[in-house]
């Protein structure tokens, strides 16, 4: 098994890509903290993992709250003795608002969840990894973190920031045994649309230009396989980069 006896945290793990990553990691031998604001969903995922012979613990986490992030990582250490893999997957969409229409409140909410949570979790995990002399971070970015036509300004900027965090962290700690990479999924079948409300008519119409050339939507399990590669020793020479998984969507422009 590729992750035998490793300890992994996966945020946003009650559904979608996070759920698929948590389940695949457990199948490959990892002890998994299933972290999500939706504790009932997280518990269901953890129960499924445990029923199938794996090891998992559900933890309720609002990634917009520093105390919840720190408790999440402390729980992993207290429950399983250490931390080896941190997957920052939790995120929300905006409402496709362009710069002229975005409010401070929406901007701050998107950044709290999509970006600030990532740096807070990494900051808490780095001392553990430094002491061990190794550790892996996998961030869920987005093709919206590489391009400007896939969402509104807040989501786009928040995911561009995640790409920057990934590259800087990978470089800074490259000689300390810590690897940090990101996945940029294209259109993937999850329930992230549930986080969208009051869609901006102008912004939505503009993004349809890019959406019209999507080859096909991806499945969460396809993204999980990329996350497994990045967490495992198979990617030992891969650091500080972004793996695009979008069926060739962004190859068009």
Residues in the chain: 253
Q: Long-range contacts: 69-78, Cβ < 8 Å, 24+?
A: 69/117, 69/120, 69/121, 69/124, 70/120, 70/124, 72/9, 72/11, 72/33, 72/35, 72/121, 73/9, 73/121, 73/124, 73/125, 73/128, 75/33, 76/7, 76/9, 76/33, 77/128
Q: What are phi and psi of 210, to 5 degrees?
A: -75, -35
155 is a catalytic site residue: yes
Catalytic residue selected from 25, 80, 155, 173 = 155
Provide the edge-to-edge strand list for the sheet that holds 85-88: 55-60, 31-36, 7-11, 85-88, 135-140, 178-185, 242-245
Active site residues: 155
């Amino acid at each position: 098994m590729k992750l035998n006896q490793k300890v992994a945290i996966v945020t946003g793990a009650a559904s979608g890509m996070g759920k698929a990553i948590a389940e695949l990691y457990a199948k490959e031998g990892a002890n998994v903290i299933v972290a999500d604001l939706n504790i009932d969903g997280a518990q269901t995922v953890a129960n499924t993992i445990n029923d199938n012979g794996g090891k998992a613990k559900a933890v309720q986490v609002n990634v917009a709250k520093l105390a919840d992030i720190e408790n999440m990582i402390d729980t992993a250490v207290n429950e399983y003795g250490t931390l080896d893999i941190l997957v920052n997957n939790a995120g929300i969409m905006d409402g496709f608002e362009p710069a002229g229409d975005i409010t401070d409140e929406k901007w701050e909410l998107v950044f709290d969840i999509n970006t600030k949570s990532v740096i807070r979790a990494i900051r808490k995990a780095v001392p553990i990894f430094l002491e061990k002399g190794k550790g892996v971070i996998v961030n869920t970015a987005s093709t919206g973190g590489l391009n400007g036509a896939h969402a509104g300004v807040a989501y786009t900027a928040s995911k561009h920031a995640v790409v920057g965090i990934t590259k800087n962290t990978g470089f800074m700690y490259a000689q300390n045994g810590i690897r940090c990479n990101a996945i940029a999924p294209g259109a993937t079948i999850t329930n992230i649309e549930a986080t969208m409300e009051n869609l901006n008519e102008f912004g939505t119409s503009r993004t349809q230009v890019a959406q019209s050339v999507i080859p096909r939507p991806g499945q969460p399990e396809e993204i999980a396989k990329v996350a497994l590669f990045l967490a495992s020793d198979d990617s030992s020479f891969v650091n500080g980069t972004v793996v695009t998984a979008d069926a060739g969507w962004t190859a068009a422009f």
